[in-house]
Amino acid sequence: MHELSIAMSIVEMAQEEAELRGNVRIQAVHLRLGLLSGVVKDALLSSYEMACETTPLEGSRLIIEEIPVEIYCSNCEAQRPVHSIQYFCCAECGTPSAEVTRGKELEVFALEIRE
């Protein structure tokens, strides 16, 4: 369970951004969360609330966009969705691949601010 420390990093990062922009009020943080990031969405959401307490972000929302896993398929010569997280092969042609091209994201993508 490392979601609380991740949530605290998100809050810290958002606060820095708010300060850079002249102490704007942050209403929401948009996060891109890859299914291979090792972070659990629900645990992160509840940790976020805790991490915001007594900070200027108290009451703000965390909006999570889950990013699916994609691999590079040597047969299709293209980036393709993975069959499943338990079965790393191309969803279209079935060629196995361990070359993950998408799905490890843990990224603060945008902020909703009010000046």
Check residue 89 for interaction with other proteins (CB under 8 A): yes
Closest by CA position to 10, among listed 57, 54, 42? 57
Single residue of 19, 65, 66, 112 touching other proteins by CB under 8 A: 112
Contact 48, 7 (CB under 8 A): yes
Check residue 47 for interaction with other proteins (CB under 8 A): no
Residue number, 57 or 89, with CB nearest to other proteins: 89
Closest by CA position to 67, among listed 53, 85, 54? 85
Residue with tokens 């990031």: 37
Check residue 106 for interaction with other proteins (CB under 8 A): yes
Single residue of 46, 49, 100, 102 touching other proteins by CB under 8 A: 100
Check residue 74 for interaction with other proteins (CB under 8 A): no
Check residue 17 for interaction with other proteins (CB under 8 A): yes
Least gap, CB of 50 to other proteins (angstroms):
15
